[in-house]
Amino acid sequence: MPDFFFTTIQCRACTCSKRAALSQMMLGRQIDGIWHTSTVVHGEEIFFGAGVQRAIPGLTPFGQPLQKVDMGTTSLDKATYTEIVAELSARYQPQHYSLLTNNCNHFSNELCELLCGKGVPAWVLNQADEVFKTPLGQMLMPVIMQMEGQLGGATASGFGGGSASATGGAPGGPAPPPS
């Protein structure tokens, strides 16, 4: 019997900052959050931080999502899903993390596109561009670029969690292949 199924895919948007209320005053435009996204598929929450990480849905260091966006369904078997995650894991390494061009939102977008043909909402994916178009955003860009290493250290068990690979298996550690 083939391991074939339909599973719902959910994009979770958590905010990394409760200071979004100050955005209108500081940036001249309203920013509702500094978004971190993950994707829930096959009963796990998967995201990019210190490499590709997996966790029990809702138990990442980012907390409970403020928004859950149903992305659709996939009929990919587990072997194909595992291959996709392994390919993405090879490209989404901690040393390649960039707040602007290669972050959790880009990972979630690519994973969702591959699984169900639909990317994450533009308001999440384009957030950094919108912030950095403002005068304050342009002034803060060098500081934020220095912080990239710290944000790239997010693991399923917390921040600053060292290196990751797609073959680890410790709880809260790097992404193991799904079974």
Confirm whether 104 is a catalytic residue: yes
What residues contact residue 133 under an 8 Å CB cut-off, 6+ apart?
none
Which letter, b or e, does each residue of 138-177 get, where b requires 16 or more Cβ atoms within 10 Å of its Cβ? eebeeeeeeeeeebbbbbbbeeebeebbbebeeebbbbbb
CA angle 166, 155, 128 (to 5 degrees): 100
DSSP string of 88-157, one letter each residue:
HHHHS-GGG-BTTTBSHHHHHHHHHHHHHS-PPPHHHHTHHHHHHTSHHHHHHHHHHHHHHHHHTT-BTT
Look at strands 51-55 and 67-74 and give their pairing.
unpaired
CA 15 to chain CA centroid, nearest Å: 11
Confirm whether 112 is a catalytic residue: no
Tell me which of 11, 36, 42, 106 is the catalytic residue: 36
Tell me which of 104, 106, 112, 116 is the catalytic residue: 104
- Active site residues per annotation: 36, 104
